[in-house]
Structures are given as structure tokens and as C-alpha cells.
Amino acid sequence: MAGIEHITVDADEAGMRLDRWFKIHYPGLGFGPLQKLLRSGQVRVDGGRVKTDARVQPGQVVRVPPLDVDAKAVKTGPIGIKDLKHSDDGELLSRMLLHEDDKVFVLNKPAGLAVQGGSGLTRHLDKMLEAWTSKKGEKPRLVHRLDRDTSGVLVVARTRGAAQKLTAAFRERDTKKTYWALVKGVPRKQDDKISTWLVKEQTEDGDRMRIAKHGEDGADHAISYYRVLETAAQSLAWLEMEPYTGRTHQLRVHALHIGHPIIGDPKYYVDDPNWDFPGGVQKRLHLHARHIDIPHPSGGRLRVTAPLPPHMVQTWNLLGLDMENGGDHE
């Protein structure tokens, strides 16, 4: 039995229901026992009594009475910035895991974690996968990528053979990847196809993609599809986006190209003095790889959906967007 704890709510947990907050911090504590602790006033927020559906905010302090050690045995739930800095590789990978079988891992990559190494990076997913090296000495293999600031579904092969088949599926475009994005403004068309040429250019802030002309040296053709799922006060739109091709930063550049950059994009969103950035929304990239449908190496199709990251959940709650409107991919 531990003593009384006073835990400060993190920025990534803004707007989270109290019962969900406990599920993340104390996964071994059941809903019934939590209700008893709340009714008796043993659990409090900023010194006051609360109910399970109360929503916590950054800086609030949650009083937690002594609990069984098992209640805090393994941390689960969304991975915050502090976790990326302090948790060990095996623990983080386990918390990311959405699906596992003898051929494939599917992870929910958190925003802020790079997939592969680069200049100045001390931690990246490819290196972390060494923690899951098999008894045969085989390390899981990446078969596609997500931008560092993009969260969501990432497929990892457990064997060399699985990697070959999965890589071929991506190369032959026998996959369907669905992303959710929050963009500035509302597109005139409810759904549309975006077709451009893209080329990479060097800038002071690193590599950046731009729209190119057909035939321009180094340019690649890029095709994306989008549809508007919901809007907020006609100033923001929640888009479902599908990249048909897989170019670097493709969806981010295409959103900018149609005049509706993704909220919080550090590379492609430009502040507009005539447009107020919505209050309470974190200036972090609002792009999430929501769902993937891909041939399984052993046959059939593998379909996996990833829950939104904390900063996007906070925004959806703030704007009153209904996550059920995204449809059920399963």
C-alpha cells in the first residue's frame, strides 16, 4: 500500500474524463472501486468532491488515497511528451500496441516520436524496436513511415518474409490509409480529388515539399482524396483524407494547396493576421493516421483503427466534434 498521492494533471490530459484519467494512471483500479472512493470523498480534484464524468484540466491536482500496488502496475493509455522522454523502450512499445500476431505488429505512434533516425534525434522508433528482437535474433522491421509530428497507425513486420509482402502491398498500392485532419476554413467542395506534382527543396528549416510543374526535375506526381466530416463555426473543418500516392508530407502540402492548411502544422501552416487561431487548441499538428486496410502476409485483410492522440481529443471536445461521425471502419 502506498501513501496519499497528489498528482498534477498534464497538458496532454486536458478535457479528459476523470474515470479515463484513472484508467490511464491506475489501470488496475476498477470502475466500481473508483466510484466508492469518489462517493466517500477519498478522491478529490483541487480539494473538492467530483464524479466520474468530471473533466480534468491542466494544473489541477488529483488527490489519490492509498491503493493496492497492483492498481498502478502497468501504465496504459495515451502517451504524452513526458512519457517519450522518460519511459523505457519496451514499456512505450507495449502501450502503442494495437494489434499483434506471429507476422505483424500494428502500433499507434504518438505525435512527436520520429520513425527513423536523423540529425539531433536521440530517440526514434526504429531503434526502439530492438527491444522486441525475437529469440532468433530477428528485429521487427519498418515497412512504411509517418512524419514525426503525425500520430496513428504504423505497421511493423515481425519477420523478413512478412516485411517483403507488406512492402510490396504499399508499393503496389494495395492498401487503404485513412487520415483525420483539422484544417483552417471549410473547403468549398464536400469531397474532392487533389492531383499535383511535388518536389523537395532545401530550406533553413530543413527539407520542405512544394507544388511543382509537370516535368520539373525531381518532381513526383501526388494524388490525395478528402471529404468533409464536420465543421466548427464555419471556421474549421474536420477532414477525412486518403493519400493514393505516398509522397513526403503529401497530405500536409495538399491541404495547403487547396487553401486549408492543417491546424498546428509547424512546416506548412502560416499565421494569418485576419484569422484568429482558436483559443484552447494546442499548436501541434492535427493530423492522425486513423485507419489502415492492408493484405495480411498470411492471407486475408488486416484492418486496424487507432484512437486519436490527447491533443486532438482535447480539440474535438473543445469544438464539440462528434468522433462517431467518422464512421466505423471495422
Q: Is residue 322 flagged as an active site residue?
A: no
How far is it, in rounded angstroms, from Cα 217 to Cα 178? 30
Which residue among the candidates 12, 83, 147, 265 is catalytic per the annotation?
147
How far is it, in rounded angstroms, from Cα 309 to Cα 96? 11
Estimate the crossing angle of helix 31-39 against helix 18-25, to 10 degrees: 120
| Distances, alpha carbon 230 to alpha carbons 178, 260, 294, 323, in Å | 16, 14, 27, 10
Per the CB < 8 A criterion, the answer to whether 240 and 227 are in contact is yes
Residue owning grid cell 468532491: 49
How far is it, in rounded angstroms, from Cα 318 to Cα 280? 7
How far is it, in rounded angstroms, from Cα 62 to Cα 40? 15
Q: Which residues pair with 227 in a beta bridge?
A: 191, 240
Q: State the DSSP string of 109-175.
A: EPTT-BSS--TT-S-BHHHHGGGG--TTSPPPEE-S---TT-EEEEEEESSHHHHHHHHHHHHTT--
Residues labelled as active-site residues? 147
